[in-house]
Structure 1
């Protein structure tokens, strides 16, 4: 298990990032394929984006929700409730660290 860095002291302090292996064949790669399949199935399905003519923002929100829900339901990822509730705030914009 990866050791998590400490939470920032205040809301606007930068969040230390955990290095993630994103190469083909990595655990992350397997999770993105699984999550992507769930999101795509939702988008193209009868209750999804194309059927409902959703806006781009609604498509993104729905696809992310469906992908995360699928991974959580499979028990492949967990929500760290203690960390989430102890955080002084959550950064909404992701700092790009690579391709």
Structure 2
């Protein structure tokens, strides 16, 4: 399961570049991403975003360890309870094998 997840998220290893960035650069990138997120939300209106299975797995693995109150403060395309459900589903699949 871990190997499959690593394979699916390998294009997303761009996050490793964050290690060499300063806090200021990270803050600027976060603000830019949040602004783009707001623009996309305005354009989408009531249309719901569809996540692929690998996107759900990546987000669930990344966000599930966070406390629920932190999750609720984040700006996400999916509700925090949905992300936690994705994580539970992943764990059920893992233990079913």
Q: Same fold (TM over 0.5)?
A: no
Q: Which has the higher helix share?
A: 2
Larger Rg: 1
TM-score, L = length of structure 2: 0.30
